[in-house]
């Protein structure tokens, strides 16, 4: 247990740091894409925070395996650098025993990512896409044609006699039908301004009429303000549509498959969500072999191999998912691709535990490449 706690302590802070950096880069990229849209539409910036939180589960599904892998690489490299790995091996501690806490942690994280993929991610995707479409289709702040009853705002009717040079409405009337009791505002003049996601009317020298007949009540005012949420007015309205496959809950995907004749994209999405968390186990198996020769090679070789592995792994997953989505391949092709990486990882892990790495790795491929190409590159 002491050894397990020691390995976990070495792993934890690099994992948190890598997760923050990678998630932060993805969120920053999404913010840069949204900035122009928000500035053009004049949307309250707080709504962007809601959109980023909505898409966070999807980013975590991608970045947690990455952060886990880089943190484990840090542990392996650290143990080699301080010669602790040699001491553990001399004491008869196998690699599997040494990293069993990280293997158990990888299984737990994979289970949590499975829940995220089946439930939280589709909820976030649906909210994000709905808000994005609502903002793109959002109507601008309304203008009111003089001497005409305008009903562009849901549950409101507006009438104005005219508008002066300063943009102030003259002879203003507003009917509010949001409740069972009708409310009418009449004022000599009024202004309209938009503050974030709220339209605000400011009325001057008028009267507020509520009810009708004997129950009619009136209140005179010199200045009166009425705030209206853009969503309630229909100006920022989240559309409703039949859920797309990436927005469907796991139970919905499974029900559609069990009914038979499910669309290829639904089948592909179901297996993608089952498959993606297993990437943690694949990366766990590759981590030790790719970091095994640190004393004969610089740290940069291990990190570059790790990055190359993840680029290859994620691109293969994406390509096979697209093939199944378009109906060009059966669903098991996605699992076949993952199985190839898993078996290769098992083989390399086995070779590493018996100190019999493939010749290309054992001889220090990165140093060979440096000598042939004639460049130097060093990390750490």
Same domain, yes or no: 6 and 126: yes
Same domain, yes or no: 170 and 316: no
In tens, the pLDDT along 339-377 reads 999 999 999 888 888 776 655 455 454 454 455 555 444
Rounded Cα–Cα distance for residues 189 and 141 (Å): 19
What contacts 24+ positions apart, CB below 8 Å, involve 189-193?
Answer: 190/160, 191/167, 192/141
Same domain, yes or no: 254 and 114: yes
Rounded Cα–Cα distance for residues 86 and 103 (Å): 21
Neighbours of 39 (CB within 10 A): 10
Residue 4 phi/psi, 5-degree rounding, is -60, -45
Rounded Cα–Cα distance for residues 274 and 363 (Å): 38
Could you say which of 192, 211, 233 is where a domain stops?
A: 233
Q: Is residue 180 part of a domain?
A: yes
Same domain, yes or no: 245 and 128: yes
Same domain, yes or no: 100 and 8: yes
Cα radius of gyration (the chain): 31
Query: Residue range 90-105: average pLDDT?
Result: 89
CB 297 within 8 A of CB 366: yes
Same domain, yes or no: 45 and 126: yes
Q: Is residue 287 part of a domain?
A: yes
Residue in the block written with tokens 């609502």: 134
Does the pLDDT value for residue 90 go beyond 50?
yes
Rounded Cα–Cα distance for residues 83 and 65 (Å): 27
In tens, the pLDDT along 46-79 reads 778 888 898 999 999 999 999 999 999 999 988 8
Same domain, yes or no: 82 and 109: yes
Same domain, yes or no: 198 and 258: no
Q: Is 6 exposed, middle or buried (0-12, 13-18, 19+ CB in 10 A)?
A: middle
Residues 6+ positions from 226 with CB-CB distance below 8 Å: 174, 176, 185, 200, 201, 203
Q: Is residue 82 part of a domain?
A: yes
Q: Is residue 379 part of a domain?
A: no
Same domain, yes or no: 227 and 246: no
Same domain, yes or no: 96 and 6: yes
Q: Is residue 57 part of a domain?
A: yes
Residue 204 phi/psi, 5-degree rounding, is -125, 135
Could you say which of 176, 198, 233 is where a domain stops?
A: 233
Does the pLDDT value for residue 290 go beyond 70?
yes
240 vs 162, which has greater pLDDT?
Answer: 162
Q: Is residue 151 part of a domain?
A: no
Which CA distances in Å does 358 have to 181, 286, 310, 350, 355? Answer: 81, 13, 20, 11, 10
pLDDT at 1: 79
In tens, the pLDDT along 185-244 reads 888 888 877 666 677 888 898 888 887 777 788 888 889 888 776 555 454 555 555 667
Domain assignment of residue 8, given as a range: 2-137+241-373
Rounded Cα–Cα distance for residues 197 and 122 (Å): 26
Q: Is residue 146 part of a domain?
A: no
Q: Is residue 327 part of a domain?
A: yes
Structure tokens at 348: 């390399």
Same domain, yes or no: 116 and 253: yes
Could you say which of 205, 233, 261 is where a domain stops?
A: 233
The structural domain count of the chain equals 2
Same domain, yes or no: 110 and 255: yes
Q: Is the pTM of this model over 0.85?
A: no
Least confident of 127-131, 141-145, 175-179, 208-212: 141-145
């Amino acid at each position: 247990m002491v050894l397990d706690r020691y390995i976990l302590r070495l792993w934890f802070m690099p994992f948190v740091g890598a997760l923050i950096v990678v998630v932060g880069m993805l969120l920053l990229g999404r913010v840069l894409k949204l900035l122009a849209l928000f500035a053009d539409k004049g949307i309250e910036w707080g709504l962007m925070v809601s959109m980023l939180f909505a898409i966070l589960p999807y980013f975590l599904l991608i970045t947690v395996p990455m952060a886990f892998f880089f943190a484990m690489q840090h542990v392996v490299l650290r143990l080699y650098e301080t010669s602790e790995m040699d001491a553990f091996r001399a004491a008869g501690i196998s690699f599997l025993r040494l990293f069993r806490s990280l293997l158990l942690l990888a299984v737990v994280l994979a289970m949590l990512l499975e829940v995220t993929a089946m439930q939280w991610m589709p909820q976030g995707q649906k909210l994000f896409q709905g808000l994005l479409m609502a903002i793109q289709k959002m109507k601008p702040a309304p203008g009111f044609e003089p001497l005409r009853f305008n009903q562009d705002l849901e549950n409101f009717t507006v009438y104005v006699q005219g508008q002066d040079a300063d943009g102030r409405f003259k002879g203003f009337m507003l009917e509010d039908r949001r409740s069972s009791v009708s409310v009418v505002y009449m004022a000599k003049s009024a202004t309209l301004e938009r503050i974030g996601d709220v339209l605000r009317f400011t009325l001057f020298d008028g009267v507020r009429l509520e009810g009708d007949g004997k129950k009619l009540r009136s209140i005179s005012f010199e200045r009166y303000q009425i705030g209206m949420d853009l969503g309630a007015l229909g100006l920022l309205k989240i559309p409703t549509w039949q859920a797309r496959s990436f927005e469907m809950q796991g139970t919905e995907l499974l029900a559609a498959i069990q009914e038979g004749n499910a669309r290829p994209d639904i089948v592909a999405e179901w297996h993608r969500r089952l498959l993606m968390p297993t990437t943690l186990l694949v990366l766990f198996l590759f981590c030790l072999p790719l970091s095994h020769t640190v004393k004969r090679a610089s740290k940069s070789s291990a990190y570059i191999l790790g990055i190359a592995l993840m680029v290859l792994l994620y691109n293969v997953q994406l390509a096979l998912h697209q093939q199944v989505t378009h109906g060009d391949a059966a669903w098991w092709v996605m699992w076949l691709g993952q199985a190839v990486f898993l078996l290769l990882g098992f083989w390399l892990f086995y070779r590493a535990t018996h100190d019999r790495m493939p010749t290309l790795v054992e001889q220090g491929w990165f140093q060979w490449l440096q000598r042939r190409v004639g460049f130097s590159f060093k990390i750490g």
